[in-house]
Amino acid sequence: MSDYTLRAFTWSDVPAITRIYKHYVDNTAITFDTEAPNEAGIAEKYAALIEFGHPVIIAERDGRVVGYAYASFYRPRAAYRFTCEDSIYLDPAEKGRGLGKLMLTELLAQAKAFGFKQMLAVITSDTANSIGIHEKFGFERVGYYSAVGYKFDRWHDIVHLQKAL
């Protein structure tokens, strides 16, 4: 039995999402943001996700937000409206406990129910755990881009993975 509860996003989640995301911006190349957005910036982003009705999942353990995930348009042009990109972020203390698997399972189900037909994952190439979990869920590597992001004084490659929903 999991110690985690998954639920829909509420506006009171913004501070926790901001805190979790800030860790990844400041300490990793998982995101290519180089400055962490403040709560107003996160709220603006989530307002757009909610307006479109896109899947947004919050994970809690013992009443505390410990992760979040969402699926949103891969690109803004209308022809891409059935293709989404996934994003999953965990509190660093929760990594390796099965939360990513739990969240990806739910995100895939909600993205399909929403009407997305394809899900893409855009992952920094040296993030083996993220690539591995996506491959376990049936994502296939469809692209590799060399030296497309510059962060922490070095170039980073990305891998594109894809799964039909």
The helix/strand/coil state of 53 is coil
Structural domains in the chain (count): 1
Strand order across the 56-61 sheet? 4-8, 56-61, 64-73, 83-90, 118-124, 154-164, 140-151
CATH number at residue 37: 3.40.630.30
User: Contact 111/86 with Cβ under 8 angstroms?
Assistant: yes
Residues 53-90: tens digit of each pLDDT? 999 999 999 999 999 999 999 999 999 999 999 999 99
Residues sharing a CB contact under 8 Å with residue 128, sequence separation 6 or more, in sequence order: none
Residue 135 included in any domain? no
Asked if 69 and 88 touch (Cβ cutoff 8 Å), the reply is yes
Q: Is residue 53 part of a domain?
A: yes
Asked whether residue 112 is domain-assigned, the answer is yes
52 inside domain: yes
Would 161 be classed as within a structural domain?
Answer: no
Question: How sure is the predictor about 36, in pLDDT bands with cuts at 50, 70 and 90?
Answer: very high
